[in-house]
Chain A
């Protein structure tokens, strides 16, 4: 016995194929038909019922996005897309970070060597590292700017207090993410920045609590294998997960209350962000999506171009716990803390002041009872914000070695000409511009090499500057002796002699070696890896 099925309707095969393709398209876009898509591209208004809303109901990634915005908040100059950009940079960091993980093992024996291997042997390895690094610096900056913008537009006022609070947590997580990543290359820069950073935790009272926190972070009294592993796990696992969690809380609140309108759009004390009149709606699909998409593409293009032509993530000498660098510096976003440490003791600068600042930052929405978000009504808030910003900048400047840190004058002079890390004038002019011989700062400069003459000139000049500046540095004179230590390896011996106030002759000596092939990229102002003549130039041409 057979079941009689209804005769299938005959359709030309190509129409059948088209409708099948259309089906796939609808499936992939979670509800947009090809016809609707073409209408979008033409810029037609949505039909009724508006099928462009379906994806917001059906698609996971879109369901967290509002289906339309108030026209006034889609203007670039309202949000500057900084929240979006923060989110994107996190995604960007996650992708580049996971790629880096392929070539990275978090042990003191391997981390630094892996970095070099990544730079030497992995195609696009350096690009990935540079992108990750520049993205990290950028993310800290953008998240901070995003905070500044929500502060200036008063967007933390009711009902958005909690949005602000989770935002502050996100800022803290971002800072820690960047800081934990900072250690991973395991070079001097990383090691000492993190050593200073974690030592601040030690100041938490009472003493044993501080010690325990420090011990937990470092995994041992000093940073070593355990500390590196802990920072690595924080960096690639714990902190990203924490950030994702708080991001969703943050963003849920943003969508729940809507992005605050420009203050002029509504009465003082009112919040109409979620009551968007039909004539001022801008739909996410396609307008805002396209807008955000092109914006992020443009940002990516800029980041890529800057990275490819200009930026290189630093990599100093391998971490050496036995050798404190001449100047230890925190990452730039912690300069302000370092500045504080110079004027207050560890307890105040490392724990109390930052703690109070953080609590105050979180409490801003609850402290500021002024209902108005209009600039004219918020002079006090705006001015205190600006004052706080300026203070931060001043403190940050005080955090740099430029302020109140001064080594021995002789050391400072040599450090300028040929620093322990980085380039300095000597490495900048490079191996071939440093002729063999002995050069005495008291004698007239006689060299055919104009670049080298400049270096000697600077030597003389710096000695004069420091003689003036330092009280205990009289009649200094210097000697630079360049010898050929090995094939392709020159030894630069810097010697400085001066008279102390006690009338005794003092002497300082520093040896640095310079290899013909060592490439301090700052030497050339921008990357010139690709230029074939560069290879010849390096070969001594």
Chain B
């Protein structure tokens, strides 16, 4: 084999010089493009943070705040909302005290300790592991970035498009919340009470399940099992098999379920607190309740997609 050993002194020096030149050029090129690179990287990681946040939102928040952040009546406020991005901070007296992003961060991390003056069925739990919640610090940061990313669409909403429901916890009475909110004169709170849009009478069970906010605490597509207990209320994915979670009621599950709706405190599994409202009997007709119970026990139950007026919009 011919040896590759370069004996010539001069050629070695030239090799050394060429190599040094290459190094200098590479480092120089890097130096020149560092600003752009750092900018691109910053945006890249912000973008990926929002992607991560989207997953966390879908898995943890969307059941109450809606897949599109539109909120759920009586369960949780809209986040994809112009009111939320323009007025909320002021209404809770934090304007100039903190940024909205910090406010969201605090709320997500520490939850809402009190239910006073609020119309929401449950208080929001702390999400950060720092306060005993299920999310790591970085996940809280990412989901906050995702929520804040609603800003662009939220600010384009007109008053009637804003899915927001007035909060009852603010200093000003809800009727006045709209004052000065924008140039849109017709900005008025849409619904004040926590009721369904459709009149009482013959509403479909799947509609009631959403409109009366059952869905905020009960998951329809997840089984209730020791390894998969619903967090705020039992899951209903397997309710038709189990019938009921109360052994002595096995003979007549429908009666028991009805009792649970009408007077939730009659029997309660210990791990759940008494978050379930006890006024459902006054918000549904007897017939509606019966149909709801049958629907829950139906293994092939259907849930329709509906618009804001309650009309079915899926095929």
Q: How far is the CB of A487 from chain B (nearest CB, A)?
A: 4
- In the bound assembly, the distance between CA atoms of A318 and B51 in angstroms comes to 13
CB distance from B130 to the nearest CB of A (A): 10
How far does the Cβ of A306 sit from chain B's closest Cβ, in whole Å? 9
From A291, A298, A318, A491, give the contact of B19 (CB < 8 A).
A298
- A532 interface hit (Cβ, 8 Å): yes
The residues of B that contact A265 with a CB separation of less than 8 Å are none
Nearest A-chain residue to B67, judged by Cβ: A485
The answer to whether A109 and B137 have CB atoms under 8 Å apart is yes
A428-461 interface with B by 8 A CB criterion: none
Given that A43-B9, A304-B23, A489-B149 are contacting pairs, would A518 and B30 also be in contact in the complex, using a CB cutoff of 8 Å?
no
User: Are A120 and B50 in contact, CB atoms less than 8 angstroms apart?
Assistant: no
Q: Contact between A517 and B3 (Cβ–Cβ < 8 Å)? A: no
Pairwise interchain contact A298-B15, C-beta atoms closer than 8 A:
yes
Which residue of B23, B34, B54 is within 8 Å of A301 (Cβ)?
B23
Q: Which residues of A contact B26 (CB under 8 A)?
A: 301, 304-305, 307-309
Name the A residues within 8 Å of B68 (CB-CB).
485
Q: Please tell me which one of the listed residues A293, A489, A511, A532 contacts residue B36 in the complex, with CB atoms under 8 A apart.
A: A532
CA distance A457 to B26 in the complex (A): 40
Taking CB atoms, residues of chain B closer than 8 Å to A487 are: 149, 151-153
Alpha-carbon separation in the docked complex, A76 to B15 (Å)? 15
B17 shortest CB reach to chain A, Å? 9
Q: Is B55 an interface residue (CB 8 A)?
A: yes
CB of B4 to closest CB in A, whole Å? 4
* Complex interface: stretch among A122-130, A143-151, A152-160, A167-175: A122-130
Chain A window 287-309, contacts with chain B (Cβ cutoff 8 Å), 1 for yes, 0 for no: 00011011001101100110111
Q: Decide: A535 and B40 in contact? CB cutoff 8 A.
A: yes
CA distance A112 to B176 in the complex (A): 46
Separation of A503 and B249 alpha carbons in the complex (Å): 36
Whether A486 lies near B22 (C-beta < 8 A) is no
List the B residue with the shortest CB-CB distance to A299: B19
- A515 pairs with B19, CB closer than 8 A: no
Which of chain A's residues 478-526 have a Cβ closer than 8 Å to chain B? 485-489, 491, 511-519
**1/0 per position for A62-101, CB-CB distance to B under 8 A?**
0000000000001111000000000000000000000000
List A contacts of B48 (CB < 8 A): 515, 518
Selected from A301, A486, A532, the residue in CB contact (under 8 A) with B152 is A486
Residues in B whose Cβ lies below 8 Å from that of A239: none
Query: What are the residues of chain B within 8 A of A8 when measuring CB–CB?
Result: none
Q: Indicate which residue in B6, B39, B138 contacts A113 across the interface (CB closer than 8 Å).
A: B138
Smallest CB-CB separation from A121: which chain B residue? B38
Contact A511 B58 (CB under 8 A): yes
The residue from A123, A291, A511, A534 contacting B40, defined by CB atoms under 8 A apart: A534
Shortest distance between the CB of A444 and any CB in chain B (Å): 22
A121–B38 CA distance with the chains assembled, in angstroms: 6
Which B-chain residue is minimally distant from A514 (CB atoms)?
A: B51
- CB–CB B22/A305 < 8 A: yes
B50: A residues at CB distance < 8 A: 486, 489, 513, 515
Please pick, from B36, B37, B47, B151, the residue contacting A518 in the complex, using a CB distance under 8 A: B47
List B1-33 residues whose CB lies under 8 Å from chain A. 1, 3-6, 9, 12-13, 15-16, 18-20, 22-23, 26-27, 29-33
Q: Interface size on A (CB < 8 Å)?
A: 54
Residue of chain B at shortest CB distance from A530 = B33
Chain A residues in 8 Å Cβ range of B45: 116, 119-120
Residue of B nearest to A304 (CB): B26
Residue on A nearest B22 in the bound complex, by CB = A301
Contact of A486 among B23, B37, B38, B150 (CB under 8 A): B150
Q: How far is the CB of A273 from chain B (nearest CB, A)?
A: 18
Q: In the complex the two chains form, is B12's CB within 8 Å of A119's CB?
A: no
| A530 with B47, Cβ < 8 A, contacts A304-B23, A486-B153 known | no
**8 Å CB contact of A513 from B12, B54, B151:** B54
The verdict on B294 contacting chain A, using a C-beta distance below 8 Å, is no
B178 at the interface (CB under 8 A from A): no
Decide: B3 and A485 in contact? CB cutoff 8 A.
no
B42 lies within 8 A of chain A by Cβ:
yes
Cα separation A127 to B34 with both chains bound (whole Å): 10
A534 to B55, CA, bound (A): 28
Please report which residues of chain A, range 352-381, place their CB below 8 angstroms from some CB of chain B when the two chains form the complex: none
Give chain B residues whose Cβ lies under 8 Å from the Cβ of A317.
Answer: 52
Q: How far is the CA of A301 from the CA of B16 in the complex (A)?
A: 10
Q: Is B304 an interface residue (CB 8 A)?
A: no
The answer to the question of B46 belonging to the interface, with a C-beta cut-off of 8 Å to chain A, is: yes
Which residues in B have their C-beta under 8 angstroms from that of A76? Answer: 3-5
Any A CB within 8 A of the CB of B146: yes
Closest to B58 in A: A511
Confirm or deny: B41 has a beta carbon within 8 angstroms of a beta carbon on chain A.
yes
Q: Which of chain A's residues have a CB closer than 8 A to the CB of B153?
A: 486-487
Per the bound structure, the CA–CA distance linking A300 and B43 in Å amounts to 31
Q: Are B3 and A513 in contact (CB under 8 A)?
A: no
By the criterion CB–CB under 8 Å, are A515 and B47 in contact? yes
Which single member of A109, A291, A308, A515 contacts B30 (CB below 8 Å)? A308
Chain A residues 33-83 with CB under 8 Å of chain B are 41, 43, 74-77
Chain A CB within 10 A, most for which of B13, B30, B55? B30
**A123 to B41, Cβ gap below 8 A?**
no
Chain B contacts for A538, CB-based, 8 A: 40, 43
Q: Report how far A112 CA is from B49 CA in the complex, Å.
A: 13
Does residue B311 face the partner (Cβ distance < 8 Å to A)?
A: no
For B3, B15, B40, the residue with the greatest tally of chain A CB atoms inside 10 Å of its CB is B40
Q: Which residue of A126, A489, A519, A534 contacts B54 across the interface (Cβ within 8 Å)?
A: A489
Q: Are A519 and B22 interface neighbours, CB within 8 A?
A: no
- Contacts A301-B19, A301-B23, A530-B37 given; does A124 touch B3 at CB 8 Å: no
**Given A297-B16, A487-B153, A530-B36, is A120 in contact with B41 using a C-beta cutoff of 8 Å?**
yes
Partner of A517, one of B18, B31, B47, B58: B47
A109 to B139 CA separation, bound complex (whole angstroms): 11
B16 touching A535, Cβ below 8 Å: no
> Please, how many angstroms separate the alpha-carbon atoms of A341 and B5 in the complex?
44
Taking CB atoms, residues of chain A closer than 8 Å to B29 are 308, 530
Contact B22 A74 (CB under 8 A): no
Separation of A514 and B48 alpha carbons in the complex (Å): 8
Residues 295-332 of A contacting B (Cβ, < 8 Å)? 297-298, 300-301, 304-305, 307-309, 317-318
Asked if residues A304 and B51 are in contact (CB atoms below 8 Å), the reply is no
Give Cα distance in the complex from A510 to B229, angstroms. Answer: 23
B52 to chain A, nearest CB (A): 7
Smallest Cβ distance from B82 to chain A, in angstroms?
14
Enumerate chain B residues within 8 angstroms of A291, measured Cβ to Cβ: 5-6, 12
Q: Does B99 contact A (CB under 8 A)?
A: no
Q: What residues on B are CB-neighbors of A516 within 8 Å? A: 47
- Residues of chain A lying within 8 A (CB to CB) of residue B22: 301, 304-305
B residues sitting closer than 8 Å to A (CB atoms) are 1, 3-6, 9, 12-13, 15-16, 18-20, 22-23, 26-27, 29-34, 36-48, 50-52, 54-55, 58, 68, 137-138, 146, 149-153
Taking A75-B4, A109-B137 as given, write out 13 further A-B residue pairs in contact, using a Cβ cutoff of 8 Å, ordered by the A residue number. A74-B5, A75-B3, A77-B1, A77-B3, A113-B138, A123-B31, A123-B38, A127-B30, A294-B12, A297-B15, A298-B19, A486-B152, A538-B43
Sample 13 A-B pairs with CB under 8 A, ordered by A number. Answer: A109-B137, A308-B26, A486-B150, A489-B50, A489-B51, A513-B50, A513-B54, A517-B43, A518-B44, A518-B51, A519-B44, A529-B37, A538-B40
Q: What are the 3 tightest A-B residue pairs by CB atom distance, in nearest-first order?
A: A530-B33, A515-B47, A487-B152
